[in-house]
Each structure stands twice: as structure tokens, then as C-alpha cells.
Chain A
């Protein structure tokens, strides 16, 4: 089925705007000069702790430090 509106190439490939925007931001951050680059990358680091629950009780949490989504 042909699409009526002209969709951007990334949406045609199944990517959402927010994914596209985050990829662009990451690429820009990776092209920065040194002190700014480490600042920017550390600013965007995400750390989270996950705990699975079984029988209504939380198990021991695991800490994940994911690099921002590419």
C-alpha cells in the first residue's frame, strides 16, 4: 500500500522520532572536543537498579548502568 504523506526515511525504516533524535544527539556528542565530550557523555549516563518480584516480595536488586540507547 503506497503511503500518502512523504514520510522521512527513518520512519519508513520503522524508527520512531525519539529514536532518531537520540541517535542524532549521541552522534553530535561523540564529535565534541575533549573536556566537553566526557562531560556530555557522563551527563547522559543512565544507571538503574532492577529488582524482580516473586510471591509479592522483591528479590535482590541488580544495578545496571546502561549506556544511552544507540
Chain B
């Protein structure tokens, strides 16, 4: 029985080495050969239908040397704030802390907490307050930042922030169920982040 188990061991390892990583780019999309043959037999004069894959732009390949700029896509559900914009650096408010992303950053997926996102291009910095979201950094120095709500800092009203902070601190002390406590805690987190964004 042991010998059979030992015999089984090398196979998965060999298979794993042969299988490519999910972060590697897939082979460039080529039309399916058998489909094309069958199509041309039946309808030689008509162009074959395009599949969704053929409409997609392939991901730009990972360059061998680190590119000089980071390409950022910053999207919201209702608008595309930045679309393939080339920048020097972005600082994102990840749950693990402020994370600086430079070109050549290792591929990462990070969850965002309420905080300030700053985009550095040359000598200009644009800051947004992000409510929550995710950032996907790809190996080819492309960063996709997705947020539910993001506002430039000058649109935030400091009085409402203070009022909200006081309200939720009071709600936390009077909360009874776990859910109420969680909601009050979220309120406190968001408002304190807004506060430090305005003062920091």
C-alpha cells in the first residue's frame, strides 16, 4: 500500500510544474481551427461570427525591464475616474495600511479601507477619499483601482464629518445587538478616516 502511495506522489508534482500559473498571460487568442473549417464548409462566403474573446484586448505583456510609469485605471460604478493614465506612483489606503504602488510592483490584490488615495504624477498630486473597494496590481505595472464612492477632498464638509463622528460614537455606546454595534463601529471608522483626510 505504501509503495502505491509513493508511486502516486511524483505525478501531481509533475502535473503542477506543467500547469502554468494563473498570473501568466494566456496564449494570444487564435480562432478555433475546427470551428473555422466547419464554418467555411457550410458558409464559405460569409465571415465567421466574432466571439466575445476576439473583442477583448489582450492584456499588455509583462515587460522584461521595469517600465518607467504605472498605468492606472480608477473606476467607480457610475464613472471612470482615470482610464489607463500613466502616473509615477499611487498611494492606496489598503486595510493593511497606506500602500505605495510604483511601477514594477509585485502583483497584488488588496482590499481598501475608507481613506485617502493619492495619485502622483510629476510634481502634481491628486487626492481622493475612497469609501472602500479593491486594488488589483498586475505584474505588467497596470493597477486597477475599483471603489464604490470616491470624492476629491475639497468636496467633503468638515461639519458634517464632526457631527457624524459624534452621532456614531453615541450610537456605539447605546448599541445592543452585534449588528448595531458593527454599524456604529463602521460609522466611527469612516468618519474618523474622513476627519484625518481633512486635517492630514
Measuring CB to CB, which residues of chain A are less than 8 angstroms from any residue of chain B? 9-10, 12-15, 20-25, 27-34, 36-37, 40, 43
* Assembled-state Cα–Cα distance A30/B148 (Å): 14
Chain B nearest CB: distance from A20 CB in Å?
6
Q: In which size bucket is the chain B interface?
A: 20 to 34
A-B contacts counted at CB < 8 A amount to 75
Instruction: Report whether A14 and B156 are in contact in the complex, using a CB–CB cutoff of 8 Å.
Output: no
Instruction: Report whether B132 and A31 are in contact in the complex, using a CB–CB cutoff of 8 Å.
Output: no
A24-B190, A31-B161 given; 8 more Cβ-contact pairs under 8 Å: A9-B182, A12-B182, A13-B181, A14-B182, A20-B132, A24-B131, A31-B160, A31-B191
Cross-interface CB contact of A33 among B156, B178, B182, cutoff 8 Å = B156
Across-interface contacts of B37 in A (CB, < 8 A):
none
Instruction: Report whether B179 and A13 are in contact in the complex, using a CB–CB cutoff of 8 Å.
Output: yes
Q: Is B149 an interface residue (CB 8 A)?
A: yes
Instruction: Report whether A15 and B160 are in contact in the complex, using a CB–CB cutoff of 8 Å.
Output: no
Instruction: Report whether B157 and A31 are in contact in the complex, using a CB–CB cutoff of 8 Å.
Output: yes
Q: Name the prevailing secondary structure of the A interface residues.
A: helix
Can you show 5 pairs from A to B with CB atoms below 8 A apart?
A10-B186, A15-B183, A24-B149, A32-B151, A33-B155
Chain B nearest CB: distance from A38 CB in Å?
12
Instruction: Report whether B148 and A27 are in contact in the complex, using a CB–CB cutoff of 8 Å.
Output: no
Instruction: Report whether A27 and B129 are in contact in the complex, using a CB–CB cutoff of 8 Å.
Output: no
* Assembled-state Cα–Cα distance A15/B161 (Å): 24
Instruction: Report whether A21 and B161 are in contact in the complex, using a CB–CB cutoff of 8 Å.
Output: no
| Chain B positions 128-148 with a Cβ under 8 Å from a chain A Cβ | 129, 131-133, 148
In the complex, which residue of chain A has the Cβ closest to the Cβ of B95?
A8
Instruction: Report whether A43 and B155 are in contact in the complex, using a CB–CB cutoff of 8 Å.
Output: no
Cross-interface CB contact of A13 among B178, B190, B191, cutoff 8 Å = B178
Instruction: Report whether A33 and B157 are in contact in the complex, using a CB–CB cutoff of 8 Å.
Output: yes
Cross-interface CB contact of B179 among A14, A24, A30, A43, cutoff 8 Å = A14
Across-interface contacts of B118 in A (CB, < 8 A):
none
| Chain B positions 172-200 with a Cβ under 8 Å from a chain A Cβ | 178-179, 181-183, 185-187, 190-191, 194
Across-interface contacts of A32 in B (CB, < 8 A):
151, 155-157, 160
